Structure formats: structure tokens, C-alpha cells
Amino acid sequence: MVTPSKSIFSLFLFLIISVGFAQSIDEKKLLSDLKLLSADDLKGRKTLSEGNIKARKHIQSEFQRIGLKTHYSEYLQSFSFENRRENKKYEDAVNVIGFLPGLDSRNIIVITAHYDHVGVGKKNSKGDSIYNGADDNASGTAALLALAEYFSKNQPQHPIMFAALDGEEMGLQGAKALLKDFPFPLDNILMNINMDMISRNENNELYASGTNYYPELKPILEQASVGLLPSLKFGHDQPNTGRENWTQSSDQGPFFDEKIMHIYFGVEDHVDYHQPSDEFENIEPSFYTNAMKLILKCIIDLDQKLPKE
């Protein structure tokens, strides 16, 4: 038998839990961030371009609004690198980096997504020359903001660093710079979770790549994804398989080189990959919001199940 006071209490608890869950990811905000970051006026966000700086300022003001801490001045980590293809030195490329302390561990989860893309280039048959990079990688960047917002209200066990990286399209430069100028010993990094292209797939599949190297992560991810769509696939992480191995194809590469565990969330290439048609109109909103919730669930479980020391 349930006494009236108890049932009122349970009702309150139910309301608190359901309201809390509903607020976990703001889907409208997620989509509007993706739209903003891939709009024509950002002109493809090429490193050091005006559009790239607009994207950077949006991320920076969001980190500020959310109330993230940081180890860099105003969240910005500047770095320089040589672009061999263009034979040009890039000064003052900028990563945007926020931080949330953990409840009971010093081992950091570093979540990354690159916000740069390839800019303006060759026109396609429709006369479009802006390479918007909606899927690549406004999708991962907007997801990074949503995760920062979520974990700022639900404190994780492990500290989380949120890194919006620059210069990925010029050779994973932002990730290399982050690890070169990291505010803690690299031994304190528990793992890297990278997101790059997560907003569309014809087969309703999202990859979590890297478990071939780190098999201990696989059961956690398998369990986290039970009953959820898109279906979580493993693979693209076998050595000696050329471009089929994605380990060095995005910002998880430099972490791998430092022997730091990673999981890379991404989809297989599509017709609009690195084309002017990779724009907001061609992403799949329901795939994207579901992928976001799946990734969130995976990160919550990794945070709870991975060792604290």
C-alpha cells in the first residue's frame, strides 16, 4: 500500500526526472547551431578566414554563456603551423577550449570536434563555390556545444575538456597543437572522444571507431547503445587497410600517436563529402538528433564505468 504523501512524493520525483530528461538535449538549439555554423556568410570556415573567426566567436560566447572554465585566456589557444600543400605559414590559428571539473577523478575526458572547413573553392555544376561543411564538421561542433551544456548541468565523474579545434583540414593541426600545449601532463588524459560528420547516413548507421585498439571500451558502448537508433557500428580501425582505417583521418590521430585511448564517432562518406552541397539542407535532422542522444548516452556510460584512477 502507498500512503498519499509517498505517492505525491513519487509524482514530484517523476516530474523532476521527466523534466530533467526532456531538457537534456535542446534539439532546436542543436539544429540552429549547425545551421548558423554552416551558413553561407561563414564561407566554409577556412582557417584564418573571416568566416572561421565568426564561427570561433560563436563557440567562445557559448562556452562563456554555459559557464565553462578554461586554462587559456578567454578560451582561446593560438598556434602556428606550416601548410605544406599551400607552402604557407599559418600564424594565429585558434582552438577554443573549455573545461568542466569532475566529481571524483583527475583523469580527463577530452571531447573534440573541428570547427574549420575548406572555405571557398571550385564551383560545382550549380555555380556554388561555398564549401559549407554542414556535416563536416558543423555537426560535430554543434554537438560539442550541446554536450558542454548538458554536462554543465549534470556534473561528470571525470573532468571533461571541450575542444573545438581549428586547422583539421590542413593536417589535424589543432589536435597536434592542443597536445603540444596541454595544461596537464598527458598521462592525465583518460581518453579522447572525437566527433566529425555525425548528421546523416542512408543506412541509419553511426560508427564508433577505435575499439579494435581499445577492446575494453567496446562492451560499454555496446551496452549504452542497446535499443537506440542510429545503430552503432564498430570498425574502420584495422591496421594496414589504407583509407578504410579512419584512425588518422580526423583529430583522434594525434591522440593515438601519443598512445591515448580514443573513440571516433562519424559516418561513412557521402555524395556531398567535401563538396559545396555539404549544406544544411542536405543533413538529416532526425538522424542527427538521434545520433546526438546516442553519443551522449555513450559518454555518460564511459564516464561512469571507466576507472577513476
- Shortest distance, position 135 Cβ to Zn ion, whole Å: 8
DSSP β-bridge partners for residue 163? 97, 112
Q: Which three cell numbers stand for residue 117?
A: 572547413
Q: Which stretch binds Zn ion (CB under 5 A): 55-63, 99-107, 189-197, 270-278?
A: 189-197
- Shortest distance, position 119 Cβ to Zn ion, whole Å: 13
Assess contact for 244 and 238: CB atoms under 8 A.
yes
Among 135, 136, 272, 279, binds Zn ion (CB under 5 A): 136
Q: Which stretch binds Zn ion (CB under 5 A): 154-162, 176-184, 192-200, 240-248?
A: 192-200
Size of the site for Zn ion (CB under 5 A): 3
Q: Which stretch binds Zn ion (CB under 5 A): 87-95, 135-143, 174-182, 204-212?
A: 135-143
Cα–Cα nearest to 263, from 272, 276, 250 = 250
- Shortest distance, position 136 Cβ to Zn ion, whole Å: 4
Nearer to Zn ion, 137 or 211 (CB): 137
Nearer to Zn ion, 149 or 251 (CB): 251
- Shortest distance, position 129 Cβ to Zn ion, whole Å: 19
Binding mask 93-132 for Zn ion (x = CB under 5 A): ----------------------------------------
- Shortest distance, position 255 Cβ to Zn ion, whole Å: 15
Q: Hunting for cell 583539421 — which residue is that?
A: 168
Among 132, 137, 277, 289, binds Zn ion (CB under 5 A): 137
Nearer to Zn ion, 160 or 165 (CB): 165
Distances (CA, A) of 152 to 15, 63, 114, 137, 222: 21, 10, 21, 23, 26
135 binds Zn ion per the rule CB under 5 A = no
Q: What is the spatial distance between Cα 104 and Cα 205, in angstroms, rounded to a whole number?
A: 34
Nearer to Zn ion, 114 or 158 (CB): 114
Q: Edge-to-edge strand order for the sheet containing 262-266?
A: 76-83, 88-100, 160-165, 108-114, 189-195, 262-266, 205-209, 231-234
Assess contact for 174 and 168: CB atoms under 8 A.
yes
Question: Residue 77 phi/psi, 5° resolution?
Answer: -115, 110
Binding mask 33-72 for Zn ion (x = CB under 5 A): ----------------------------------------
Q: How many CB atoms lie within 10 A of CB 48?
A: 16
Among 62, 196, 251, 278, binds Zn ion (CB under 5 A): 196
Nearer to Zn ion, 33 or 136 (CB): 136
Assess contact for 296 and 198: CB atoms under 8 A.
no
**H or E element at residue 208:** strand 205-209
Q: How many CB atoms lie within 10 A of CB 193?
A: 26
Nearer to Zn ion, 196 or 279 (CB): 196
Question: Residue 279 phi/psi, 5° resolution?
Answer: -130, 170
Q: Which stretch binds Zn ion (CB under 5 A): 134-142, 158-166, 180-188, 198-206?
A: 134-142
Angle between helices 285-305 and 139-153 (to 10 degrees): 50
Give the residues lining the site for Zn ion (CB under 5 A).
Answer: 136-137, 196
